[in-house]
Structure 1
Amino acid sequence: MPLELLTVPCLEDNYAFLLHNSDSGETLLVDAPEAAPIQAALDAQGWVLTDILLTHHHWDHVDGLPALRGNARVIGAAADADRLPPLDLAVSEGDDLTICGAKAQVFDVSGHTINHIAVYVEAAGVVFTADSLMALGCGRLFEGTPAQMWKSMQKLRILPDETRVCSGHEYTETNARFALTIEPQNADLISRIDEITKTRAAGLPTVPSELGLEKRTNPFLRADVPALQSAMSMVNQDPADVFAAVRKKRDTFQ
């Protein structure tokens, strides 16, 4: 199935994503931070939106929707429908969903917000995670608990290593500097930071990122890994507690 992915920078550091099926002409937008750059990308490709997926209710993921909605089907979490713009299709974890002609899997990834969702499209090899799992990080816990977010990380971690992680912000350089304070001897992380530096110097996005690389370098996916636990002086402790300690350190990191 010919599915094409396009990353669209928005606002100061947000990303929206377009997924297009060239056979059917269907186009999915994931989150709508602002309308102008998204519409410009659509116009440049000659694409028309057929679906819009909203991962969570924060303004920087939904404010562009009114100008983009048109006749597109708007999809979001059933459990968060009272905080989202009006939905045409309300979904929950485990629901069968088809977008751009492909089967999609819905995950409840509460933590950053309660009822945040992520969507995995196997045929495209992508998972849209917004502010749950991020490149070398995870979203700040505005509503959920560390235990909830750790559970969310575990759900996403089981996807295939080659899955492209489409997260919602360009926070990767800061996340990388933080990760290095936790695991300064992590060779995969050191190599990744070099690539991130080159990518950003060229003015290019660092997302999507590869899930397999996230598993080896992202401290928020590694709370049950002995090397990370040792680095945190928390060997054999509950991974949810280790995750909480890493998140606490990140919250005060400059």
Structure 2
Amino acid sequence: MATQDGVNTDWLPQPSRRGVLQGGAATLAAGAVLGVGGPAGADAPASTRGPAAAPGMAIPVELIVNGTRHALQLDPRVTLLDALREHLLLTGSKKGCDHGQCGACTVLLNGHRINSCLSLAVMHDGEHITTIEGLGEPDALHPMQAAFVKHDGFQCGYCTPGQICSAVAMLTELHAGMPSHVSADLQETRQGLTDAELRERMSGNICRCSAYPNIVAAIRDASGQVA
């Protein structure tokens, strides 16, 4: 008499080898249909897998970059940074953290600074974007670019395009009287460019080489030339 924990189990049906194999085959077949068989549903039909960029998913987007109008066909998930770098081949804007924390991807959108890695390209259809390539020319540098060269405001240079774009927009904000977290008087129409103000307003741009003293000197030098 077969027992389990003192209970008679003779009356229970005993599984056969054929039954076990048939049951396993049925389970595998059901898993294949539902897309759970194999690693990450590799054997599942395409219709049951996760979302993918299907042909024809791209939509028309028009970006005005550095004064030039570009008609693009983009997947709606493409960031503005990737549209600039991968589709327009404007690689001056850098992908640093890709999380909006380092500022290396800063560009000007209608004159205001944004982290292009956090913004989708389709959100800016018909809008004006300025990258580091659009600020000046090699033989006619923007005053901020010239100041960074003069004061050696960089080392590896990876963050420099974002630093310069951010600094240009920051001075525009300052001259417009926009306060910061360290402004002494929120009602003051024109904030002074103290070290505290400058560092606070540029705090979204990180230089891992720590060239901050030279960056501050460059921005101060250019502040009288950038409106």
- TM-score between the two structures when normalised by the length of structure 2: 0.27
Larger radius of gyration, structure 1 or 2? 2
> Highest relative contact order (Cα 8 Å, sep 6+), 1 or 2?
2
Structure number with higher strand proportion: 1
- TM-score between the two structures when normalised by the length of structure 1: 0.25
